[in-house]
């Protein structure tokens, strides 16, 4: 199954067509999606079902964020003129699925977990925590993420934070340093290292719950336990 991040597609096409008519903006979006899916079909030499996802109203993460408002740095950002029209076009003409109370990313991750052969189509780095195949349509590149790689990326995000979503990490820790600090550790060791660096288990849990993409409906991330790690070893 091909799982398309409709939020990324809608924003990309809306910005591109900001000075065009709404008709042109919707046509451009349709052409872009058709070409994207066609290119992916060619690469994988099959034509599986595809779904398009959009983020709707409400987000449970806003109730979790304590250190800083979740995505609070986006309030004053101006949206492209035709964004809502393109979203409605994706709903009407592409049967886009609109989430409620969570992000499109969550539902994509849930469906990818339920269907391990899925391909996530997005440019959003957050999906690198989800074990499956991934398609970057800018690079026209198909890659895979393993469970181990996804878990490492997730814990690295906890200490790095995410400026785009206003999630506060540890000052001075970026891609390379986070990789060096956590690579080769077990999950409980990564968790404990995060607590050491953020100087608070509550901060680690807050960041983790903000960053974690759900793998089942209504899931809330829980800290790993020594017992569970021993059983899985």
Please report, for residues 56, 57, 85, 191, the alpha-carbon distance to residue 101 in angstroms, rounded to integers and kept in the order given: 7, 6, 22, 27
For residues 210 and 131, state if they share a domain. Answer: no
Please give the tally of structural domains in the chain: 2
For residues 32 and 51, state if they share a domain. Answer: yes
| Long-range pairs of 159-164 with CB within 8 A, sequence gap ≥ 24 | 159/193, 159/194, 159/197, 159/198, 161/207, 162/126, 162/210, 162/211, 163/73
The domain that contains 13 carries what CATH number?
A: 3.40.50.1010
For residues 104 and 180, state if they share a domain. Answer: no
What is the distance between the alpha carbons of residues 36 and 140, in angstroms, rounded to a whole number? 9
Please determine, for residue 229, whether its predicted confidence score (pLDDT) is greater than 90: no
Q: What is the pLDDT of residues 65-87, one digit of tens each?
A: 999 999 988 777 889 999 999 99
For residues 129 and 220, state if they share a domain. Answer: no
Give the containing element (helix H, strand E) for 121. strand 119-121
CB of 229 within 8 A of CB of 192? no
Last residue of a domain, one of 115, 130, 145: 145
Residue 4 φ/ψ, nearest 5 degrees: -100, 125
For residues 153 and 189, state if they share a domain. Answer: yes
Please determine, for residue 231, whether its predicted confidence score (pLDDT) is greater than 90: no
CB of 108 within 8 A of CB of 214? no
Residue 150: pLDDT band with limits 50, 70, 90: very high
Last residue of a domain, one of 99, 124, 145: 145
Q: What is the pLDDT of residue 176?
A: 96
For residues 108 and 23, state if they share a domain. Answer: yes
Domain extent for 196: 147-232
């Amino acid at each position: 199954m091909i799982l398309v991040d409709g939020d990324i597609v809608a924003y990309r096409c809306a910005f591109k067509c900001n000075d065009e008519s709404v008709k042109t903006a919707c046509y451009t979006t349709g052409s872009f999606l058709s070409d994207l899916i066609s290119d992916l079909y060619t690469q994988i030499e099959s034509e599986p079902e595809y779904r398009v996802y959009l983020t709707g109203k409400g987000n449970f993460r806003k109730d979790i964020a304590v250190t800083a408002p979740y995505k609070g740095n986006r309030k004053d950002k101006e949206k492209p003129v035709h964004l809502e029209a393109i979203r409605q076009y994706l709903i009407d003409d592409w049967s886009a699925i609109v989430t409620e109370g969570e992000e499109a990313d969550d539902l994509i991750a849930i469906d990818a977990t339920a269907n391990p052969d899925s391909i996530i189509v997005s440019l959003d780095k957050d999906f690198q925590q989800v074990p499956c195949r991934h398609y970057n349509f800018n690079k026209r590149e198909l890659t895979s993420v393993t469970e181990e790689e996804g878990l490492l990326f997730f814990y690295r995000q906890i200490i790095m934070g995410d400026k785009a979503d206003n999630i506060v990490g540890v000052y001075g820790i970026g891609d390379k340093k986070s990789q060096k600090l956590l690579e080769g550790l077990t999950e409980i060791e990564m968790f404990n290292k995060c607590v050491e660096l953020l100087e608070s288990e509550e901060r680690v849990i807050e960041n983790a719950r903000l960053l974690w993409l759900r793998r089942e409906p209504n899931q809330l991330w829980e800290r790993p336990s020594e017992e569970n790690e021993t059983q899985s070893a």
